[in-house]
Structure 1
Amino acid sequence: MNVSERIAKLRALMAEKRIDAYVVPTADFHQSEYVGEHFKARKYITGFSGSYGTAVITPDDAGLWTDGRYFFQATNELKGSGVRLMKMFVGDTPSVTEYLADVVPEGGTVAFDGRVLSMDEGREYEEALASKGIHLDYSEDMIDTVWEDRPPLSDKPAFFLEEKYSGESAASKLSRVREVMKDNGATLHAIASLDDVCWLLNLRGDDIDFFPLLLSYAVVRMDGVDLYVDGSKLDDRIHEELEKDYVTIHPYNDIYSDIRNLDAGETILIDPMKMNYALYKSIPCNIVTAANPTILMKAMKNPVELENIKAAHIKDGVAVTKFMHWVKTRYDKETITELSSAKKLTQFRAEQEGYIRDSFEPLCAYADHAAMMHYSPSEETDVALKAGALFLNDTGGGYYEGSTDITRTFVLGSVDEQLKKYFTAVVRAMMNLSRAKFLYGCYGYNLDVLARGPIWDLNLDFQCGTGHGVGYLANVHEPPTGFRWYVVPSKNEHHQLEEGMVITDEPGIYEDGQFGIRIENEFIVRKGVQNKYGQFMHFETITFAPIDLDGIDPEEMSRSEREWLNHYHKDVYEKIGPHLSDEEREWLKEYTRAV
């Protein structure tokens, strides 16, 4: 069936069940950023493959809500489907709830699979639709009926992350979580987010695209843990480790019935942003809401994790440097495309010891494709690299020592002075934030202007955040902090900068239909001098790969900026050079020269 046929089948089912609108979010049961093939229901019913969006199907209309990152992609992928693109945050485009409140009749029914809608979203639907007496049916996974050859849930094996990588035992982590539970008056704590469960128990898996996580839920008690997971994925080593901490294994889907059977006298701690609506509606006892305590704990990396992460970045820097050399010395001698280059970079990463997989889908974008911030090449859009344009690569690797996220923009051939001016502004923006010194208590939005300043000076801006936290062999986008000039509650980034956090610094300039420039490093939040003014903080850069000097105009930089760049490139050569071939090392010497 094509998309229009799938929607027709869904509408017939809706009519049979007297449903006025069916909502299909982009999510699994755990609100994961990336999802496994089984959970790509929104892609199946609309044809749109982007990582963010919500579909709403009514008897006579179909809409796909997504944001500006995906307008171009969605426009192309929705052609001929009968699905309208609803451009979020543009003009008078209604939100999903506003649309539902307008089109669903008084006393009608809105249905969705409550396991793939967050608790907060579900409550928003309740509030927005209550005035019209609209009923919410959250028990309907109607896509499952339509999707005849739906891929099964992943059955890939899990693995245990040893303490030489995690730096802390599960017993220690559980003890810390239980202290927070006591502070909140909770006797139980339900965790539905995969990265939190995996971090807490030092488990990892292969159930999510790119993120090495395990489909699971956990309920932490004062004397044990109930882990809901497909037990066939766990080997003897994992069973032995879990038994030490009194972890009881239950079938994955049993959590819904078990939660409904809790004693009414219990008090359960849940995170409204990290729990699905169906699980929330199953809770019969007292509820305390707060952020999962594991969120801040895992964001503040311990010394073992930090040393491992720094080692991972050296490996990744070697791969990216080899890739840069390969592209810049061969693009005009052989056919290199966006897709083939992405595969080559993955190959360079795979050569590094401890590599597991890429940490997210490679974003390799040539020329005007790079103007789309989250463009990822496909067979339909793939193009060859040619001289006279920029080539943006936002990629990352997952290693046992941690996950990486790096962006470099390469100059292919010669480009005009205006592009160099923009390129240099982006480099200056990145280094300005990385050089920051600030007092403890600052948030990301206190410092964001440092990165945007050189770009705002050009009367330009980039319409996304400047940086995000990075998980340890988990979610590459990790709360609870990041850099942006405004607060977005749904991003869960509203927390001050703490020692040990690992955060990206990735400003850019994007001009629709022309080019995109982004330069991204990662750094660790570190403590500096403490005196009568307070605790000063700074950042330690941990990403090491050359910044393409072919795009730099030194006249656009101050003396201190040139000194920073020269010092950075000296470090790149010293740290990465020994791992390269003679030819690559000689090339690197030229691309890390002083300016």
Structure 2
Amino acid sequence: MTVKERIEQLRELMRKNGIDAYVVPTSDFHQSEYVGEHFKARKFITGFTGSAGTAVITLDEARLWTDGRYFTQAAKQLEGSGVELMRMAEPGVPTINEYLKSTLVEGNCLGFDGRVVAMGEGQGYEEITKSNKATIKYEVDLIDEIWEDRPELSKKPAFKLGEEYAGESAASKIERIREYMKECGATYHTVATIDDICWVLNMRGDDIDFFPLVLSYMVVKMDGVDLYIDETKLNDELKAEFAEIGVAVHPYNDVYADTKKIPAGETILIDPARLNYAIYSNIPEGVAKVEERNPEVLFKAMKNPKEIENMRIAQIKDSVAHVKFMKWVKENVETMEITEMSASEKLDELREEMGNFIRPSFEPISAYADHAAMMHYCSKPETDVRLREGSVYLTDTGAGFWEGTTDITRTFVLGEVSDTIKEHFTLVAMCNLRLANATFLQGCVGMNLDILARKALWERGLDYKCGTGHGVGYLLNIHEAPTSLRWRYRAGDTHKFEEGMILTDEPGVYIEGSHGIRLENELLVCMGEQNEYGQFMYFEPITYIPFDLDGIVPEVMNSDDIKYLNEYHKLVFEKVSPYLDEEETEWLRKYTREI
């Protein structure tokens, strides 16, 4: 079926069910950013394949909301589908809630599958329908009724992450959560976000492509833990571990019925952004609710000493692989056929050689020339092109090693390129280094510092339509809350920088139809000097790969920029050269030379 035919089938079901508007988000039952094939309902109904977006289908309109990372991609993929692209945060573009408020009228019904809609979003829909005298149906998965060959839920096995990697036992983490529950006056704590659950239980799996996570729900009580999961995924080691620490295993979908059985008088700690609307709606009226962010979110974002030690190792491994890769691409681009896809495969081969490589940590972005202007472009056989001299090649990829997760972007200059490309490359390098060299007072959030990564671009009328950086999980989600780097306020992303957090620093320039440039390092948040003005903090770059000097124009930089670049390249050489042979070392010396 075409997208138009699918939407018409959906509308027929909407009419049968008395639904006037139907919301299809990008989510699973756990509010995951990236989802397994079974949950790609928004992709199925609109044809848009990006990782973020929400569709709203009415009886006479179809609209898709997505953010600036995907404007170019979405416009191409929605062409001819009858689905209108809503460019989020652009002037004159209503939010989803604003659109629903203006669309729903008295007697209308808003429908959605409450398992894939976050509690907070569902509460927002409640307010709209009440004010418009409309109603809600949240127990309807209409997409499932028309998706004939829908993939099944994953059956892949889970595995244990030992303390030599996790740095803390599951029992210790559970006790920390219970202490937080006591402070909140809660006796139950229901967790639906699978990265939080996997972190607590030191469990990993393979239920979402690239992300070592396991579909599950968890309820922490003062006298035990209930884990809702497909038990066939658990090996004997995990079962024994769970039995020892008081984790009882239940069928995956029983969480909904069991939620209804929570005794009156209990108090449940829930996170409106991380619990689905269906579970929330099943909480009995006699149960008090404490609505706060899951404590696991901050606990796991502040890496412990063992995790930091391991993630440094992972970064060294990936940096060595990248240096070898950079040399290979630049030296062979014209002498052998290197395509976007074959280049990406080569990088993973080099990572494999470093040992303890598990898998890529997200879908690779391997983009040449104008493809690089699409922030989240993914090369496929039908779009794969050969790399050639005369433009730039952007690789935004990550590795999951047992020692941790990496997220790294480099842009390589291939042969002679235009002065404009070189200027843009230099500006992006300046933006990255200015942020990485920031010293700031404890209490700062990403919105305080984001200007450091944009000032050089803003002064020239340039910008990039995405955040500057995000937290990184330890073999969990590649985008990890609660802290990010962005200039625009976004609820949930405004927690202050804490010691031990690891974030990305990834400014860029994207010129549609021409080129894209992004340079991304990971930064460790560290404590600095404390004096009468307060506690100062700083970032430590833990990614060690050259910024391609073939794209640097020193005349565009000021003396501080040149100093930052030379200091960073000196660090790169010190960290990486011990792992290279003589030829590779000399090549690295050339690409980390002082300018």
* TM-score class normalised by the smaller sequence: over 0.9
Match of 2:180 in 1: 180
Structure 1 residues 170 and 511, CA gap change in structure 2 (3 angstroms) = same
* Residues 67/440 of structure 1: CA separation in 2 closer, same or farther (3 Å cut): closer
Which of residues 433, 436, 440 is equivalent to 2:435?
Answer: 433
Structure-1 separation of matches of 2:541 and 2:465 = 24
- Give CA deviations for 1:449-481 in whole Å, capped at 9, x if unaligned: 222222222232222211111111101111111
Q: Partner amino acid for 1:288?
A: V
* Aligned-partner Cα distance in 2 for 1:483–1:93: 24
Aligned equivalents of 2:76, 2:356: Cα separation in 1 = 39
2:218 maps to a residue whose letter is A
Report if aligned partners of 2:505, 2:522 keep a CA contact under 8 Å in 1.
yes
Aligned residue for 2:309?
Answer: 307
Higher deviation after alignment, 375-384 or 268-277: 375-384
Distance 1:94 1:559, change over 3 A: closer
1:525 CA displacement: 0.8
Query: By how many angstroms is 1:105 displaced?
Result: 4.1
Q: Please show how residues 330-345 of structure 1 align to structure 2 within 5 Å.
A: 330-345=332-347
**Quick one: structure 1 residues 364 and 179, their matched pair in 2 at CA, closer, same or farther if it must change by over 3 Å?**
same
- 1:24-35 alignment runs, 5 A limit: 24-35=24-35
Measured against aligned partners, the alpha-carbon deviations of 1:140-183 in whole angstroms (never above 9, x if no partner) come to 01111111111110010001110000001111111111111011
Cα offset, 1:210, TM superposition: 1.2
Task: Tell me the equivalent position of 1:523.
Answer: 523
- TM-score normalised by the chain length of structure 1: 0.97
Q: Which residue of 2 aligns with 1:50?
A: 50
The superposition leaves residues 79-137 of structure 1 with CA deviations (integer Å, 9 ceiling, x where unpaired) of 33332223333343333233333344421211111010111111111112222221110
| Partner Cα distance (1:429, 1:87) in 2 | 26
Contact 2:118/2:273 (CA < 8 Å) preserved in 1? yes
Matched, 1:145 2:141: no
Per-residue CA distance 1:37-89 (angstroms, 9 max, x = gap): 10011111111111111122223322222223222222222233332223333
8 Å Cα contact 1:10/1:143 also seen in 2: yes
After superposition, give the CA deviation of every residue in 1:328-355 in whole Å (9 maximum; x if it has no partner). 1111122222222222222222222111
Match of residue 330 from structure 2: 328
- Alignment partners' CA distance in 1, 2:353 and 2:456: 38
Which amino acid letter does the alignment assign opposite residue 50 of structure 2? G
Name the stretch that deviates more: 342-351 or 470-479. 342-351
SS in 2 for 1:42: helix
Counterparts in 2 of 1:340 and 1:203: CA distance versus 1, 3 Å: same
The one-letter code sitting in structure 2 at the alignment partner of 1:292 is N
Residue 11 (structure 1) aligned with residue 11 (structure 2): yes
268-277 or 120-129: bigger deviation: 120-129
Residue 475 of structure 1 corresponds to 477
Is contact 1:34-1:210 (8 Å) kept? no
Is the counterpart of residue 226 in structure 1 residue 226 in structure 2?
yes
Match of 1:367 in 2: 369
Query: Hey, what's the Cα distance between the residues in 2 that align with 1:52 and 1:520?
Result: 21
Q: In terms of mean alpha carbon deviation, does 558-567 or 318-327 score higher?
A: 558-567
Distance 1:262 1:298 in 2: 28
Cα 1:93–1:541 shift into 2, 3 Å: closer
Cα deviation 1:267-293 (Å, max 9, x = unaligned): 000011111111111111110011111
Indicate conservation of the 8 Å contact 1:217/1:255, yes or no. Answer: yes
Task: Output the amino acid matched with 2:272.
Answer: P
Q: C-alpha separation between the residues in 1 aligned to 2:509 and 2:66?
A: 21
Counterpart in the other structure of 2:88: 88
Residue number in structure 2 paired with 1:171: 171
Give the Cα–Cα distance (whole angstroms) in 1 for the partners of residues 441 and 17 of structure 2.
Answer: 59
Instruction: Pick one of 404, 407, 410 that aligns with 2:406.
Output: 404
Cα deviations across residues 513-540 of structure 1 (Å, max 9, x unaligned)?
A: 2222111111111112222222221111
Taking structure 2 as the reference length, what is the TM-score of the superposition? 0.97
Q: CA–CA distance in 2 between the matches of 1:290 and 1:101?
A: 27
Which sections of structure 2, spanning at least 5 residues, go unmatched?
none
Contact 1:97 1:129 in 2 (8 A): no
Number of equivalences: 593
CA distance 1:89–1:493, change in 2 (3 Å): closer
Matching of residue 442 in structure 1 with residue 444 in structure 2: yes
2:461 corresponding residue in structure 1: 459
Aligned position for 2:253: 253
In 1, Cα distance between the equivalents of 2:94 and 2:307? 44
Give the Å deviation of 1:581.
Answer: 4.0
**Aligned partners of 1:273 and 1:403: how far apart in 2?**
24
Deviation at 1:443, TM superposition (A): 1.5
- Tell me the secondary structure at the aligned position of residue 482 of structure 2: strand
Paired with 1:481 and 1:562, the residues of 2 have a C-alpha distance of 29
User: Which position in structure 2 is the counterpart of 1:562?
Assistant: 562
How far apart are the structure 2 equivalents of 1:423 and 1:412? 13
In structure 2, relative to structure 1, the CA distance for the partners of 1:205 and 1:329 (3 Å cut) is: same
**SS in structure 1 of the partner of residue 528 of structure 2:** strand
461-470 or 199-208, which deviates more: 461-470
Equivalent pairs: percent with the same residue? 58
Which of 274-283 and 60-69 deviates more?
Answer: 60-69
CA distance in 1, matches of 2:146, 2:120: 27
Contact 1:207 1:214 in 2 (8 A): yes
Q: CA deviation at 1:194?
A: 0.8
In structure 2, the CA distance between the partners of 1:102 and 1:380, relative to structure 1 (3 Å rule), is farther
Aligned equivalents of 1:178, 1:22: Cα separation in 2: 39
CA contact (8 A) 2:407 2:522 kept: yes
Measure the CA separation in 1 of the matches of 2:70 and 2:143.
23
SS at match of 2:115: helix
Q: 1:22 is paired with a residue of what secondary structure? A: strand
SS at match of 1:426: helix
1:20 equivalent to 2:31? Answer no
* 1:590, distance to aligned residue in structure 2 (A): 1.5
**2:68 and 2:466 in contact (8 A); partners too:** no
User: Mean alpha-carbon deviation: is it higher for 136-145 or for 570-579?
Assistant: 570-579
Corresponding residue for 2:39? 39
How many Å separate the matches in 2 of 1:326 and 1:559? 32
Task: Report if the CA contact (8 A) 2:69-2:465 is conserved.
Answer: no
Paired letter, 1:493: D
Residue in 1 aligned with 2:216?
Answer: 216
Match of 1:354? 356
Q: Tell me which amino acid in the other structure corresponds to 2:329.
A: V
Q: Offset of 1:186 from its aligned partner?
A: 0.4
Query: What is the identity, as a one-letter code, of the residue corresponding to 2:107?
Result: G
Report if the CA contact (8 A) 2:104-2:129 is conserved.
no
CA distance in 1, matches of 2:80, 2:213: 36
Distance 1:20 1:455, change over 3 A: same
Matches of 1:75 and 1:426, distance apart in 2: 26
1:392 Cα deviation after fit: 1.4
Cα pair 1:215 1:229 within 8 Å, conserved: yes
* CA–CA distance in structure 1, aligned partners of residues 99 and 559 of structure 2: 54
Separation in 2 of the partners of 1:101 and 1:483? 31
- Is 1:544 the counterpart of 2:540? The answer is no
